[in-house]
Amino acid sequence: MAVKNNIILNHNEINNKIRRIAFQIYESNVNEKEVILAGIDKNGYIFAKKLKTALQKISEIQPTLCKVSIDKKNPSSDIKTSISPEDYKNKSLVLVDDVLNSGTTLIYGVKHFLNVPLKQFKTAVLVNRNHKKYPVKADFKGISLSTSLHEHVNVVLEGKTFEAVLE
């Protein structure tokens, strides 16, 4: 029997989550002139770009995008960022990904940024699955789901229709 895909967030819901998370980032950085949005490559970076656009519409804070490249198959290998550590040193930083599964990618991303002093460090995800292997949490999240380990969340943030699907 074929498993039916379940849409857990549709286009409008994703846009509403992006706007709400942008407001939460603004509220936690209300006294800052700049915030670094460090998106984990692929969907996390696309999500960070959308948060940047939303943040610019609601605040005077200057969001700076940073692409974070992590080898998800070997997360302990070197992590690369599109901006230098000097560019985020002593600033407020939000590490952004689309889905928090086991926490592996996020915890290695957090570890990378701990090498530089930061003013504030938060995390943001669109979908938080409750299957963490590591003690990492999402400070800002679009939705929390209790799913089975066999299920997969696929997020589409490009094209005309965004969606998050449970497969």
Regarding beta strands 92-100 and 34-40, do their DSSP bridges make them parallel or antiparallel, or are they unpaired?
A: parallel
Kindly list the structural domains of the chain, giving each domain's residue range(s) and its CATH number in brackets, ordered by start.
Answer: 6-166 (3.40.50.2020)
Is the full-model pTM beyond 0.75?
A: yes
pLDDT-based confidence at residue 8 (cuts at 50, 70, 90): very high
Transcribe 41-64 into DSSP letters. TTHHHHHHHHHHHHHHHH-S-EEE
76 vs 44, which has greater pLDDT?
44
Condensed to tens digits (0 to 9), the pLDDT of residues 105-136 reads: 899 999 999 999 999 999 999 999 877 778 88
